[in-house]
């Protein structure tokens, strides 16, 4: 038998509803925190100070300084439709949430179905036992139903006449079924492995193969100890990059929800609960750092620099004209430097010079595609720092930058370093037309709208890329 009050024979006329994770798969506090950080870098310091004064105080301060566009929030459609039916049937609905009162009032006003909205007041965080006490004050005869989703709601479910489980994790649902009368469950299994994998963007991990380039171009790829170190560095860098992707999605929630394709990202679409980011990001970073600690200390320093730059890019730099592309392309060069640091190999000036121009071309190509897919950039909020005519200029710079990377390659072929590593360095000339063809082909296809929204996906699905890669490896082998 469960420990709960005696139940009444009649159903409750009151239905009390939780907000974060229940009405919506998002989390209003997490969204607001990222909005605030985007507004000002100094807010990170203020957040720590406010948290020291209590979670309710933090919620109040954040709520007062930010606003969420509730038109774009991913609501739990089936459950909201059910609530609408209950409202039309005369049921009294109450929004009871741990979010700040300002947020509760805004949500209630937006949906227009709640008779009353109750939230945290800046002093007391209305969660778990405190929320149950509040419900007992609102309904002293314990005649209320309750809809929730979290572990904290397990303290409330047994005291409700009927409980509604919405977007609930399986372990929470299992416990709730033991101690509560479950009237109905909505959207079970909202979190899927495929949605998590998509949010981690594992398909982007091949970019981190750049860490192996110092081994390859120094002809030490066959040294197993160094190859093993590079493999650890690859995994460490990939996990760190996935943490960055999660943070980027949190910073871009509002814009992603307006974007024609990015609206399908797990957090933006509501396929993945936003509170997962609180667990996933620290977990990924801790594992990444643990792996980095097995490598030379220089690698960990570069990894931290990469994360810091990417965090700054996601929050602030991406909204700057041209500097966003420079930082984006620079992150590719950092990967090569990280590969050198992990294996103790000094990256040559030739490889760095080539990489700077080559990845600048690709970075400009990515921005070209972003602007094109955003539609009329003059009226778009996605890249407001650009004007409608900038894409033509980006196209020219991108092609020229790709050409300059080939020029650097030519100087390398003539240099002493090529003679050190290759028996027939003149064969390396064959790399020039291969590289020129690949770069110009990408830019031509981009102009012809034959590349989708994601350049990386296109490249790794392009058979010509694999054919030219094999041809390049054959040339390197023959020249050696």
In CATH, what number is assigned to the domain containing residue 216? 1.10.357.140
Same domain, 159 and 238: no
Same domain, 224 and 308: yes
What residues make up the domain containing 152? Answer: 14-186
Provide DSSP, 131-164: HHHHHHHH-TT---EEEE-SGGGGGTGGGSSSEE
Asked if residue 440 belongs to a domain, the reply is yes
Q: pLDDT band for 39, please (50, 70, 90 cuts).
A: very high
Q: Which of 67-71, 291-295, 371-375 has the lowest mean pLDDT?
A: 371-375
Looking at the fold, whether 70 and 90 belong to one and the same domain comes out as yes
Instruction: State residue 353's pLDDT score.
Output: 93
The half-sphere exposure of 350 on its side-chain side, counting CA atoms within 13 A, is 17
CATH code for the domain of 53:
3.40.50.1000
Q: Is residue 264 in some structural domain?
A: yes
**Considering the domain boundaries, does residue 267 fall inside one?**
yes
Predicted confidence (pLDDT) at residue 243 exceeds the cutoff of 90: yes
Last residue of a domain, one of 186, 205, 225: 186
Q: What percent of the chain has pLDDT over 90?
A: 72
7 or 223, which is more confident? Answer: 223
Shared domain for 178 and 300, answered yes or no, is no
**182-186: strand order across its sheet:** 116-120, 92-100, 14-17, 145-148, 163-166, 182-186
Q: Within a 10 A sphere around the Cβ of 109, how many other Cβ atoms?
A: 11
Domain-embedded: residue 337: yes
pTM confidence score: 0.88
User: Total structural domains in the chain?
Assistant: 2
Examine residue 297 and state whether it is found in any structural domain, yes or no: yes
The CA radius of gyration of the chain, in Å to the nearest whole number, is 27
Q: What is the DSSP letter of 12?
A: P
Using DSSP bridges, classify how beta strands 182-186 and 163-166 pair: parallel, antiparallel or unpaired.
parallel
388 has a pLDDT exceeding 70: no
Residues 260 and 157 in one domain: no
> What pLDDT is stored for residue 188 in this prediction?
62
Q: Which one-letter DSSP state was computed for residue 344?
A: T
Residue among 214, 215, 205 nearest 236 (CA): 205
pLDDT 10s digits, 413-470: 988 888 888 888 889 999 999 999 999 999 999 999 899 878 888 998 899 999 999 9
User: Is 260 in the same domain as 280?
Assistant: yes
DSSP state of 188: T
Q: Which tens digits make up the pLDDT trace of 40-58?
A: 999 999 999 999 999 999 9
């Amino acid at each position: 038998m469960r420990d709960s009050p005696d139940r009444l024979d009649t159903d409750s006329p009151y239905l009390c509803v939780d907000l974060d994770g229940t009405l919506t798969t998002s989390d209003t506090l997490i969204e607001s925190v990222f909005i605030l950080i985007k507004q000002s870098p100094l807010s990170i310091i203020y957040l720590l100070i406010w948290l020291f004064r209590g979670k309710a105080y933090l919620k109040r301060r954040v709520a007062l300084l930010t606003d969420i566009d509730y038109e774009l929030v991913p609501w739990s459609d089936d459950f909201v439709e059910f609530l609408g039916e209950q409202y039309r049937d005369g049921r009294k609905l109450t929004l009871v949430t741990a979010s700040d009162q300002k947020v509760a009032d805004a949500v209630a006003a937006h949906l227009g179905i709640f008779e009353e909205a109750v939230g945290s007041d800046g002093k007391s965080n209305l969660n778990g036992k405190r929320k149950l006490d509040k419900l007992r004050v609102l309904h002293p005869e314990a005649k209320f139903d309750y809809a929730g989703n979290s572990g904290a709601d397990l303290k409330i479910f047994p005291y409700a006449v009927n409980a509604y489980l919405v977007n609930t994790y399986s372990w929470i649902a299992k416990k709730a079924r033991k101690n509560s009368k479950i009237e109905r469950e909505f959207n079970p299994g909202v979190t899927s492995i495929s949605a998590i994998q998509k949010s981690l963007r594992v398909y982007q991990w091949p970019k981190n193969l750049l860490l192996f380039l110092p081994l390859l171009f120094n002809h030490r790829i066959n040294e197993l100890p160094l190859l093993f170190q590079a493999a650890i560095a690859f995994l460490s860098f990939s996990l760190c990059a996935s943490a960055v992707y999660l943070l980027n999605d949190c910073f871009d929630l509002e814009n992603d929800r307006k974007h024609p394709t990015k609206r399908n990202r797990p957090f933006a679409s509501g396929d993945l609960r936003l509170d997962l980011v609180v667990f996933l990001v620290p977990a990924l970073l801790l594992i990444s750092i643990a792996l980095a600690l097995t490598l030379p200390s220089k690698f960990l320093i570069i990894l931290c620099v990469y994360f810091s730059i990417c965090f700054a890019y996601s929050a602030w730099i991406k909204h700057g004209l041209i500097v966003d592309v420079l930082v984006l392309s620079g992150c590719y060069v950092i990967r090569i430097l990280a590969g050198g640091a992990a294996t103790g190999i000094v990256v040559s000036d030739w490889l760095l010079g080539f990489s700077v121009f080559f990845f600048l071309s690709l970075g400009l190509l990515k921005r070209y595609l972003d602007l094109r897919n955003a539609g009329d950039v003059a009226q778009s909020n996605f890249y407001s720092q650009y004007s409608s005519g900038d894409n033509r200029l980006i196209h020219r710079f991108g092609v020229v930058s790709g050409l300059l990377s080939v020029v650097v390659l030519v100087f390398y072929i003539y240099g002493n370093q090529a003679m050190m590593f290759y028996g027939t360095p003149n064969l390396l000339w064959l790399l020039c037309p291969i590289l020129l063809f690949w770069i110009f082909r990408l830019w031509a296809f981009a102009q012809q709208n034959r590349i989708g929204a994601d350049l990386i996906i296109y490249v790794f699905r392009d058979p010509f890329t694999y054919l030219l890669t094999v041809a390049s490896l054959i040339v390197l082998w023959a020249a050696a």
